Amino acid sequence: MSGLTMRIAASAVMVAAAVGGAAPATAAEWGINGTWATSSNGDLAKINYRLEPQPSVRSNWTISTQCTSPFECVGTVQSDAGWTAPIYTTNGFWYVKRVVKNWRYCPDGTPIDGLQMYKLYPVGPGGYHASDDSDEWTGQDKTMGPSGACGRNAETVIEIPFYMKKI
């Protein structure tokens, strides 16, 4: 065996020993659970990619999730603003999606519904992506109307920076 092959084999043995000796993570460690103070910062809102301030929204969320792995989690968000929606994880991000009835009104008074989507990820010091057990999360609050609503070919999109902290 060459020196390089021996070093690679020795490294593999050390990694296997380190991984084998570590305590396995539990499903409870992978989820987002608890009560969170949330804020959508309307001062930095964009409508169709143009800065246009909107009202800020603050609420408390109670989140309950169940996970089968760090990459497969589902659950429920219950907001004190009166709505409940599913939450799930994909590709390292968490998503909450819900329909907002009568989100906007056309000039003729016809109401249109919007699809509100929150995209979340945990942050640590300096705002960098952190582990899921962080008690501070950031992301985006994005609401879209259907294409063709109010006689417009393109949908209306409102994007607002989002933040939540465990309380």
Q: What is the pLDDT of residues 104-134, one digit of tens each?
A: 999 999 999 999 999 999 998 777 777 777 8
Find out whether 39 and 163 touch, Cβ atoms under 8 Å: yes
CA–CA distance, 162 with 108 (Å, rounded to integer): 32
Indicate whether 16 belongs to any domain: no
Helix (H, G, I), strand (E, B), or coil: what is residue 20?
A: helix
CB 59 within 8 A of CB 38: yes
- The helix, strand and coil proportions of the chain, stated in percent and rounded to the nearest 5, come to 20, 50, 30
15 phi, psi to nearest 5 deg: -65, -45
Per the domain annotation, does 20 fall within a domain?
A: no
105 located within any domain: yes
Residue 17 counted as domain residue: no
Residue 167: per-residue pLDDT: 95
Residue 111 lies in a domain: yes
Q: What is the pTM of this model?
A: 0.80
Q: Which domain holds residue 88?
A: 27-166
Q: Which of 141, 137, 160, 117 is nearest to 31 (CA)?
A: 137
- 144 within domain boundaries: yes
- Would you say residue 136 lies in a domain? yes
Find, among 39, 83, 35, the residue nearest to 57 by Cα: 39
Q: Is 3 within the bounds of a domain?
A: no
What pLDDT, on a 0 to 100 scale, did the predictor assign at position 47? 94
Q: Report how many domains make up the chain.
A: 1
